[in-house]
Amino acid sequence: MKPKTHALGLALAASLVACGGGELLALLQIVTPLGGAWSNAGFTTTIQFTSPPPSVLMFSSKVDVTASVNSTDGVCGDTLNNGVDLVGTLENGQVALRPIAPANAPNCIQGSFTDLRKLDTVALGVQPARSYTNSRVDVQMQLGLWVSESGTLTLKFNEPSSVDNFTGANTEPVTGCDVSIPAAKVNFEGEMRGFVVATLSRPLMPELVNPLNAAQKFFTQVEYVDGATLRLLNAGGVLLTLKRKPNPGGVAC
C-alpha cells in the first residue's frame, strides 16, 4: 500500500463534492493533531494551541480550542512578539481563531489543515493568505485503543507520542500489543517514521513484529491517516482501517 499524498483527505473530499458526492463529504470526520509550534516561512509568526488536551482532541472532529499567537508582523494585532491569547473552533480540519477580548472580536486566523503538518490560512484584513508548518506530528499513539471496523482487531500502543518530520533516518520506537483477545495479548514492536515533506507521505510504521522474533511480521504498512485513523495490512495482506476509541477500562499491555 502506497502512502496517500493528501494527509487529511481534504482534496479528495473536495473532488467528491465536485463530482456530486456531497453526501460522502458529510460523513468525513477529520481529527487533526495540534501539538507543537505552527510557524510561517520566515518564523515571524508562530501559533501554539493550548487546549483541548490530546486526551479530548483525539476523539472528536469538532472541538472548541484556545491558542496563543506570537507575531512581529501584525497577526491578530501583535507586532512586538508579545503574544495574543485566542479562542475559536476546529471542525474537520478547518480552524477559526479570534482574540479573547473583546468578546465580539472578528476572526484573525482562519484556514484549513491541508496535511498533517501544514495549516493554510486565508487573507483577513491587511494580513495576506499564508501557510504555517510544524516540524512534527503529535500522534499520541498511546491514547485509547485502535479498533478495526469489524471489531475483530484491537491494538494498544504504548508509544510514541510524537514524531518529527522524516528526513531519511530519524524514527521513533513503537511498542504495544494486540489485545483482540484480552486473555491472550500479543506484544509487538517497530519504528515510526514521521511525515515526509518531500512526498507528502503520512507517518508510517513499516512493520510491527514479534519482539522475540523479528522475522514474524504481524502487520505492515501501518499508516497514520489522521488523529483517529490507522490503515494497515495484516499478516494475510488484507487492508484494514482502525479507528481510535476511548479506553475506559484502562486496557494495557
Secondary structure (DSSP) of 46-61: EEEEEES-HHHHTT-S
Residue 252 lies in a domain: no
Backbone torsions φ then ψ of 196, nearest 5 degrees? -100, 105
Residue 3 lies in a domain: no
Do 76 and 129 lie in one domain? The reply is yes
Residue 250 lies in a domain: no
pLDDT for residue 214 is more than 60: yes
Domain boundary among 89, 109, 134: 134
Q: What is the mean pLDDT of the chain?
A: 91
Do 73 and 174 lie in one domain? The reply is no
Do 220 and 162 lie in one domain? The reply is yes
Task: Record the cell numbers describing residue 126, joined without a space.
Answer: 491587511
Q: Exposed, middle or buried, 212 (CB in 10 Å: 0-12/13-18/19+)?
A: exposed
pLDDT, residue 248, reads 95
Do 77 and 153 lie in one domain? The reply is no
Partners of residue 59 on adjacent β-strands = none
Which whole number is the average pLDDT over 42-67? 97
Domain boundary among 134, 153, 172: 134
Which pLDDT band, with edges at 50, 70 and 90, does 27 fall under?
A: low
Q: How many domains does the chain have?
A: 2
- Other CB atoms within 10 Å distance of the CB of residue 12: 15
The answer to whether the CB of 87 falls within 8 A of the CB of 65 is: yes
pLDDT for residue 18 is more than 80: no
pLDDT tens, residue by residue, 123-145: 999 999 999 999 999 999 999 99
Which CATH number fits the domain that encloses residue 127? 2.40.128
Residue 14 lies in a domain: yes
Specify the pTM.
Answer: 0.88
Do 100 and 174 lie in one domain? The reply is no
What is the extent of the structural domain holding 182?
A: 145-245
The CA distance from 92 to 237, in Å, is 30
Residues 75-81: contacts with CB under 8 Å, at least 24 apart: 75/45, 75/108, 75/109, 75/127, 76/108, 76/109, 77/108
pLDDT tens, residue by residue, 77-110: 999 999 999 999 999 999 999 999 998 899 999 9
